[in-house]
Homo-oligomer: A and B are copies of this chain.
């Protein structure tokens, strides 16, 4: 299994370190599979495992008392999730598609981190990257509907292999709950982006970025 490089934007850490981490985790973890919409862990559950996402897609979320749902993060192939300081998870996690992970016991990981300094630092980098992403999420939340959806699309494209085509594993509802909009608003933005020729849709889930520069103009901020 070859892992996609996900930490290219962090200059102080080589991709090789990340790949070394994946390799190390593979040795001490066990493979687990999930069907779509399966709960991987629940909010407030003790956080016993860390997960290395081999294939598929996962989202973390919280359900508010008014029934609304906020999605914290989408994780794609090569991402590591469930790594939390606190004893219990602050979000729930569920598979979006058919998903394969390597589940690593926290205790095993702690042992590994002690013996392997590179692994320890890579885990530290990982949480730092997570913090940075959540900060960006806050920034996204003050943008207009268009900017949020475009930002989401560009982010997904950046994380995809092709960079110009995106296969969205999640529903419109998931996207809406991620960017903090209603499902209809997300749909309208998609339609508008297609109408002005910025994107094309073969199916609702398969998006082609026809004009990335035009797309970026819709999301000039930051």
Q: Which residues of B contact A141 (CB under 8 A)?
A: 138, 141-142, 180
- Complex CA distance for A37 and B84, rounded to whole angstroms: 35
- Complex CA distance for A166 and B86, rounded to whole angstroms: 29
Q: Which residues of B contact A70 (CB under 8 A)?
A: 138-139, 142
- Complex CA distance for A137 and B124, rounded to whole angstroms: 22
* A131-B130, A131-B131 known; A85-B124 Cβ under 8 A: yes
Does A12 count as interface, using CB distance less than 8 angstroms? yes
Q: Which secondary structure dominates where chain A touches chain B? A: loop
Does A183 count as interface, using CB distance less than 8 angstroms? no
Interface residue total, chain A, C-beta cutoff 8 A: 33
**A90, A124, A138, A220 — most chain B CB neighbours (10 Å):** A138
Does A42 count as interface, using CB distance less than 8 angstroms? no
* A127-B131, A138-B72 known; A221-B85 Cβ under 8 A: no
Q: Which residues A137-194 have CB closer than 8 A to chain B?
A: 137-139, 141-142, 180
- Complex CA distance for A141 and B62, rounded to whole angstroms: 14
Q: Which residues A91-135 have CB closer than 8 A to chain B?
A: 91, 124-125, 127-128, 130-132, 134-135
A138–B139 touching, CB < 8 Å: no
- Complex CA distance for A10 and B85, rounded to whole angstroms: 11
B85–A128 touching, CB < 8 Å: yes
Q: Which 4 A-B pairs have the closest CB atoms?
A: A85-B128, A141-B141, A142-B180, A134-B134
Other than A10-B86, A90-B135, A127-B127, give 15 A-B pairs with Cβ distance below 8 A: A12-B86, A65-B220, A65-B221, A66-B220, A70-B138, A84-B128, A85-B125, A85-B127, A91-B135, A127-B131, A131-B134, A138-B141, A141-B141, A141-B180, A142-B180
